[in-house]
Chain A
Amino acid sequence: MNAHPALTARQHPVVHVANLVRSFGRGPNILDGLDLAIRAGEFVALLGRSGSGKSTLLRTLAGLDEAPAGTVTVPAERAVVFQEPRLVPWKRVWANVALGLRTPDARERAVAALSEVGLSHRLEAWPLTLSGGEAQRAALARALVREPKLLLLDEPFAALDALTRLKTQGLVASLWRAHRPAVLLVTHDVDEALLLADRVLVLDQGRIGFDLHVNLERPRRHAQPAFASLRSRLLRELGVEDENPVEPVEELRTPVRNTAPAAPTHRLEDAVWAASADALARS
């Protein structure tokens, strides 16, 4: 259970991107020589300031955006969950999940996927009657029912309230454990990235500017001291000063790029509290 799936599949990445360049019109290159590899079953979170090109990269991997230059290798079995659920309003929830499935047991598979996300009581509902969290869970079911090798999530929790967001994050974690797709999660939330991902990437100036392996034990909690340390690290990488910086825990640091060490602190407890309180407050 705890064996790292990435280790077994290290040899062949499911996603391989080399020297990807993308610009819009005559504008500057949004993606500028980007390289990226994601291993089978690996959970990768992608951070970056607004407008840095995270969605552009995700859309390229989803095949929604043709890249003018570079090589992109992705598995054919991909699924996307967007910030909005994008359910088809005139199809009942189960039919939304079954949409595009071509096997005779499409309905049974949809029902199974919906019960996995806790929506078996809403099979026949119209999508517009679902709550925000329910709709996003239905969208997750619709993605997972395709048994993707690569699951692309573009800020799927951003529109949810804090509590629903925590629950949905937990759901994603357990679905990932059960199905083991490779995941690329675009997010703005450092805590979310650290709670869920094996690796956290920061997109900056069109490239992966920072690549952090998160070797924390699962299930993760904000209260883990190493968690707070990584959090400070990432925040600094994103150009945000943590109010309660925490000294990095040496063995957990695997940065690609060297940055100045954090200022020492004597208030570790405060930092841990701030981290977990933040996760609840932020939405």
Chain B
Amino acid sequence: MSAAVASTPAPGTGSDQWLRNRRYLPPLLIVVLWQVAASAGLIPTRTLASPAMIAGTFAELITSGELPRHLLVSLGRVAIGLGIGIVVGTTFALIAGLSRRGEDLLDATLQMLRTLPFLALVPLFILWFGIGETPKIALVALGTMFPIYLTLFAGIRGVDAKLIEAGGTLGLTRREQVFHIVLPGALPSALVGLRYALGVAWLSLVVAEQINADTGIGFLVMTARDFLRTDIILVGLIVYAILGLSADQIVRILERRVLAWRPSFLKD
């Protein structure tokens, strides 16, 4: 027994850490090779800036305050658009999910609209809303509304009928059933929708900001293109990636807190 324990390395020992971290080696190697090739003059800067250059530009854009300024504008657009999308999507899902009449009223229409690639609406939005903030926010709102609606609606309808029945025998009113049983039961599904909506939000933003804008990360990238500044373009891409990843992390943390009752979270 004790021999078996001794033969397996305790967590945190050198070889264990090596196993855990070795998957970061290939991307690191690629960056190193990229830098070497760029320094040797194999990759022209106008095609692809070198990692060192990108890092320099990144620092420069931050210290000059340019990046934070554009970032703040982009974040604001996403926040407002996402907020509207969540409110509208949730409202529709509650109406359609909680009553047959509401479903008849809304579901078919929304399911039809959902099949439309919403980015194709950009020209129409520009005609309707001009080129200010409104079309950008509207695009984000529209894109995020559908995943929220679909997942929450499905979640509400997927709640175990036996639980609702049990709630009835406990003397819960309909309102209490919705509050204690239906909505918490629909939450896991709705959170999947939220994660998806965040992805859609960045996507809509990228499209909206590249078409017409004078601020925002998308604008930064588009002007960089005009000046062949691949370093700034890549900084923009990295910022998008970081934003996407942190949004995902936030939803994960949220899930961990509000879905603490699920066995998959109970283990740790």
Contacts and interface: CB of A to CB of B under 8 A. Distances in A.
Interface of A: 62-64, 78-80, 82, 84, 86, 88-91, 99-100, 126-129, 142, 146
Contact of A90 (B168, B176, B185, B263): B185
B180 interface: yes
Nearest to A62: B169
A84 B261 CA distance: 18
23 contacts: A78-B169, A79-B170, A80-B166, A80-B169, A84-B162, A86-B163, A86-B165, A88-B166, A88-B180, A89-B261, A89-B262, A90-B184, A91-B261, A99-B170, A100-B170, A100-B171, A126-B261, A128-B261, A128-B262, A128-B263, A129-B263, A129-B266, A142-B170
Interface residues of B, number: 22
Dominant secondary structure at the A interface:
loop
A80 B263 CA distance: 26
A40 to B, nearest CB: 20
Nearest to A76: B171
Contacts of B184: 88, 90
B163 A79 contact: no
A185 B197 CA distance: 49
B51 interface: no
Given A99-B180, A126-B260, A129-B266, A88 B163 contact: yes
A91 B184 CA distance: 10
B85 to A, nearest CB: 25
A82 B259 CA distance: 26
B163 A126 contact: no
Contacts of B263: 128-129
Nearest to A129: B266
A99 B169 contact: no
Given A90-B184, A100-B170, 19 more contacts: A62-B169, A63-B169, A78-B169, A84-B162, A86-B163, A86-B166, A88-B163, A88-B166, A88-B184, A89-B262, A90-B259, A90-B261, A99-B172, A99-B180, A100-B171, A100-B172, A126-B261, A142-B170, A146-B170
A60 B231 CA distance: 73
Contacts of A99: 167, 170, 172, 180
Interface in B181-212: 181, 184-185, 187
Contacts of B261: 89-91, 126-128
Interface in B222-268: 259-263, 266
A239 to B, nearest CB: 31
A79 B262 CA distance: 27
A128 B266 CA distance: 9
Contacts of B170: 79, 99-100, 142, 146
A64 B185 contact: no
A64 B180 CA distance: 19
Contact of B181 (A64, A82, A88, A142): A88
